[in-house]
Structure 1
Amino acid sequence: MPTLVDKIWDHHRAATTPGGADLIAIDRIFLHERTGAAALKSMAAAGRRVRDPARVFVGMDHIVDTRPGRSDQTLMPGGQGFISETRAAAKAAGLTIFDVSDPDQGIVHVISPELGIVLPGCTLVAPDSHTCTQGAFGALAWGIGSSEAEHAMVTGTLRLTRPKTMRIRLDGRLAAGVTAKDLALALLARFGAGGGAGHAVEYTGAAVAAMDMEARQTLCNMATEFSAFTGIIAPDEAAYAALAGRRYAPAAFDAPWWQSLHSDADAHFDAELALDAGQVAPMVSWGTSPEHSIAIDAALPAGPARAHDYIGLAAGTPIAGTPIDVAFIGSCTNSRLSDLRRAAALLKGRRIAPGIKKALVVPGSSAVKREAEAEGLHAVFQAAGFEWRESGCSLCFYAGGEGFPPGSRTISSTNRNFEGRQGPGIRTHIASPETVVASALAGVIADPRQIA
């Protein structure tokens, strides 16, 4: 019997090629300004047009500065060209744009659910590996390259080989102070960064069912760090309620198709993994890959020499107590309203340690920023010593513009700790927003469970 991925795949299969690959119909396409202009200009130069402009959306999130009062002019050399050229090409193609100053601007994986662009059972692609975030709503969502984006826009399809399927059962209950981010890092630490290679991963189990939609997005976001084709969670009432009334969502989710979006009870998966969520502690990365992650109360294991050299910590060193210079909350992994609420709750009435050179909060979208400000969360962060920024991706990855003080050790709610990910010479430890806050308060990597 079919899995959820099989059902969506077969529903969207337009044809099968002689070589066995499938042509899959694509429902929604997202572009951003880092690569959008290149794809659209290449199409125009070849005399090709977007088949259905209503299915294509363009966000300004990767190159834009997060400084208050930002404009097209960026700290990144040449960044203004990325923005203006993408805007011009998107307008010429008749596409919907969420521009720099648009009230709906934000990281594409954050604004898509906010607007109801992602829907259960749909296929959604974008030139960004973290597109899998949107699998939290029961969509088949994955990252593509610019040339694939061109093909999808012109033909409405992509040629793909069906991935294998994997079920990851996450049973038990997350303990207080432990989050979906910690669970994702625990999976990577246990099974490795290649653990999901070649597979579409479906997350199931009591721990997943108990998560709110924003936590599910965090979990699915990290599927690409697991080398998976995508991550997906079967939609339930929480998913449908979260999308109800959104601008691009249907008036009702009552068609038989919506009700069929689950793996059958006797569905066959090509691989199965399991983890007891109740045994997971707050996690922190230490090396050059998210799989180099350990519990906050553990010591570094022996690992690749390059990973130890990069992070500047020897095997056997406790991770807790490591001095930090920068604290960062943001990214498509952990910058939604619930992330900011939890972080602010720990910060209220407190002040970051004097040795912290920089502490920043970058909301995931302009809507998240407005909602957080309406609740007074920005005032809590600012009183504690954090900068309150505009929405964007540019401090999650280094594009030559915004950055941190040279040589900084950063505790970050982002998704990657690759060398140079947040700038040349920057050492990044990834963790949950709660661990970022606890560490900023202590001036060293610290356990959020110890904040009274």
Structure 2
Amino acid sequence: MSKTIIDKLWDRHIVAQEKNKPDLLYIDLHLIHEVTSPQAFAGLREKNRTVRRPDLCFATMDHNIPTIDRFNIKDETSRLQVQTLEKNCEEFGIQLEGLNSEQQGIVHVIGPDLGLTLPGKTIVCGDSHTSTHGAFGALSFGIGTSEVEHVLATQTLWQSKPKQMNVKIEGELGFGVTAKDVILWFIAKYGTNVGTGHIIEFSGSTVRNFSMEERMTLCNMSIEAGAKASVVSPDEVTFSYISGKRYAPKDQEFLESCKRWSELRSDENATFDQTIEIDAREIEPMVTWGTTPSMCLPISGVIPSDESSTSAEERQSLLNAHHYMGFKGNEKIEDISVQHVFIGSCTNSRLSDLLQASKVVEGKKVHPEVRAIVVPGSQAVKKEAEILGLHQIFLEAGFEWRESGCSMCLGMNDDIVPEGERCASTSNRNFAGRQGKGARTHLVSPIMAAAAALKGKFTDVRSILPKKEQEVDHYAGV
């Protein structure tokens, strides 16, 4: 019987199964950060339990970490969460990449960078964007605090198997169009609920031609389409990325692993519950204008008016978004000014993201009314970028060059967008208040964010990029 990669991953991890009940799955890797773990560890103590497999747990701190003066955490709650993680990891014998570590960074950046994220694994974390790791052919998803405790205690998790969706993307992306634009376009067209109750496999020639960084961006934001998780079948691109990583298999073991990983790909005649086909040539550089990722338009677009709605519910949704974002409707995207630009987050803070943004700003200056910051996804990414001189390019252009952390993706640290001001952000959510009380967030790709920083408003990056960049393979990076 033909199977999808989702079937194969699921079946290989079933510990116990009963008809009409959730399956008990074995968990290969449990990623931990400071925000969603304190209550889970407290629960272990209350029940006099230990961590079942500390060797399969890996911790870092990212959400609360200042990106300036990182050892000086002023917020009492944030400081307590960081200190608590340090104590919990020491007590329970879990490896922690803390503030003093050269490997510290955003959990969904360092997992792949270190070779912890591998094809065939089940991976969980108390963070919704754990879907990122599915880019490697892993079954990875976010869990709640009570589930974090369950995994710590048992190294297993009860789960009902979702339906399966194949999102097949074919064709060559146009000049200046990135993986971030692809996923924003998908959510804009099909909505934030299209993936509800499903695990998505992204397939097709476009995805096959993506770098691992681009695949991670795609999977990272699949959760914003309502999906439980998402995957890409592993291939030579995957294996090449993994080769040589710190915790990845080495030498003969690596070669044997690649053979096993190759078997994970979906069988040719595998059946999905739903298939969506996308022509990559239709996609343009995208910008969100409202308070969900589905409220998104091409850079050439015009914000819809409430008169364009087809139902009372849709009209109210538009009115609410207009009110929060300060729009009336019918404004051109290219006329929207921004006061802040943020290049970072688990969606777009990898070396290739920074490299491509640097190509846009090199030799130019940030608009005088814009505050622009670049936050590498990890200390390792920061170091690599500095070796390449990217920090100098950004600094000379007028950007701030920061330490690693989640930063301005969410309002849990010092990097806040002031109330009523706009931010062109490479992060994954534009919910009301996501970047601070009253903050107005517009999601874009790194190169679109860089263009906005230069012009002080949203601008078609294709009008800025050097002509020679047209020959670069859709920003695959390095």
Category of TM-score, reference length = shorter chain: over 0.9
State the partner residue of 1:22: 23
Structure 1 residue 245: Cα displacement:
1.8
Structure 1 residue 30: Cα displacement:
0.5
State the partner residue of 1:372: 385
1:404 and 2:411 matched: no
Q: Is the 8 A contact 1:323 1:445 kept in 2?
A: yes
| Whole-angstrom CA distance in 2 between matches of 1:9 and 1:24 | 8
State the partner residue of 1:294: 297
Q: Is the 8 A contact 1:25 1:157 kept in 2?
A: yes
Decide which moves more: 286-295 or 35-44. Answer: 35-44
Q: Deviations over 1:370-406 (max 9, x none)?
A: 0000011001111111100011113110026331333
1:63 and 2:64 matched: yes
State the partner residue of 1:322: 336
State the partner residue of 1:279: 282
Structure 1 residue 322: Cα displacement:
0.7
1:345 and 2:344 matched: no
Number of residue pairs aligned between Structure 1 and Structure 2: 449
State the partner residue of 1:214: 213
Q: Which residue type is aligned with residue 305 of structure 1?
A: L
Secondary structure of the structure 2 residue equivalent to 1:44: helix
Decide which moves more: 298-307 or 270-279. Answer: 298-307
Structure 1 residue 320: Cα displacement:
0.8
1:155-166 equivalent positions in 2, closer than 5 A = 155-166=154-165
Secondary structure of the structure 2 residue equivalent to 1:320: helix
State the partner residue of 1:120: 119
| Whole-angstrom CA distance in 2 between matches of 1:134 and 1:258 | 15
Decide which moves more: 17-26 or 358-367. Answer: 17-26
4+ aligned runs moved over 3 Å, structure 1: none
Q: Which residue type is aligned with residue 318 of structure 1?
A: K
| Whole-angstrom CA distance in 1 between matches of 2:462 and 2:76 | 42
Q: Which residue type is aligned with residue 408 of structure 1?
A: E
Q: Is the 8 A contact 2:234 2:265 kept in 1?
A: yes
Q: Deviations over 1:17-53 (max 9, x none)?
A: 3542100110000110112222112212211111111
Structure 1 residue 364: Cα displacement:
0.5
1:218-367 equivalent positions in 2, closer than 5 A = 218-251=217-250, 252-255=254-257, 256-302=259-305, 304-356=318-370, 358-367=371-380
Q: Is the 8 A contact 1:331 1:393 kept in 2?
A: yes
Q: Which residue type is aligned with residue 254 of structure 1?
A: E
Q: Deviations over 1:305-364 (max 9, x none)?
A: 1011111122221111211100110000000000000000110100011111x1100000
Say if 1:400 and 1:382 are closer, same or farther in 2 by CA, change over 3 A: closer
Q: Deviations over 1:63-120 (max 9, x none)?
A: 11111x321x313332111111110011100001010120000000000011111110
Q: Is the 8 A contact 1:194 1:226 kept in 2?
A: yes
| Whole-angstrom CA distance in 2 between matches of 1:379 and 1:63 | 26
| Whole-angstrom CA distance in 2 between matches of 1:401 and 1:340 | 22
State the partner residue of 2:448: 435
| Whole-angstrom CA distance in 1 between matches of 2:155 and 2:341 | 42
State the partner residue of 1:51: 52
Structure 1 residue 409: Cα displacement:
0.8
Q: Is the 8 A contact 1:106 1:364 kept in 2?
A: yes
Structure 2: any 5+ residue segments left out of the alignment?
307-317, 467-478
| Whole-angstrom CA distance in 2 between matches of 1:293 and 1:383 | 32
State the partner residue of 2:96: 97
Cα RMSD for the two superposed structures = 1.2
Structure 1 residue 268: Cα displacement:
0.5
Q: Is the 8 A contact 2:131 2:142 kept in 1?
A: yes
Structure 1 residue 253: Cα displacement:
4.0
State the partner residue of 1:385: 398
State the partner residue of 1:38: 39
Say if 1:253 and 1:124 are closer, same or farther in 2 by CA, change over 3 A: farther
The TM-score, its normalising length taken from structure 1, stands at 0.97
| Whole-angstrom CA distance in 1 between matches of 2:237 and 2:121 | 17
| Whole-angstrom CA distance in 2 between matches of 1:233 and 1:225 | 17
Structure 1 residue 300: Cα displacement:
1.1
Q: Percent identity?
A: 43
Q: Is the 8 A contact 2:375 2:407 kept in 1?
A: no
| Whole-angstrom CA distance in 1 between matches of 2:197 and 2:30 | 22
Structure 1 residue 257: Cα displacement:
2.8
| Whole-angstrom CA distance in 1 between matches of 2:149 and 2:255 | 31
Q: Deviations over 1:135-193 (max 9, x none)?
A: 11110010001110111121111001001000001111111110000000000011000
1:415 to 419, 428, 433: 428
| Whole-angstrom CA distance in 1 between matches of 2:435 and 2:158 | 34
State the partner residue of 1:2: 3
Q: Is the 8 A contact 1:40 1:90 kept in 2?
A: no
State the partner residue of 1:449: 462
The TM-score, its normalising length taken from structure 2, stands at 0.92
| Whole-angstrom CA distance in 1 between matches of 2:154 and 2:122 | 14
Q: Is the 8 A contact 2:163 2:199 kept in 1?
A: yes
Q: Deviations over 1:185-220 (max 9, x none)?
A: 000011000010000000001110111110110000
| Whole-angstrom CA distance in 1 between matches of 2:239 and 2:45 | 38
Say if 1:400 and 1:99 are closer, same or farther in 2 by CA, change over 3 A: closer
State the partner residue of 2:474: none
State the partner residue of 2:181: 182
State the partner residue of 2:439: 426
State the partner residue of 2:471: none
Q: Is the 8 A contact 1:17 1:23 kept in 2?
A: no
Structure 1 residue 59: Cα displacement:
0.8
Q: Which residue type is aligned with residue 51 of structure 2?
A: V
State the partner residue of 2:166: 167
State the partner residue of 2:470: none
Structure 1: any 5+ residue segments left out of the alignment?
none
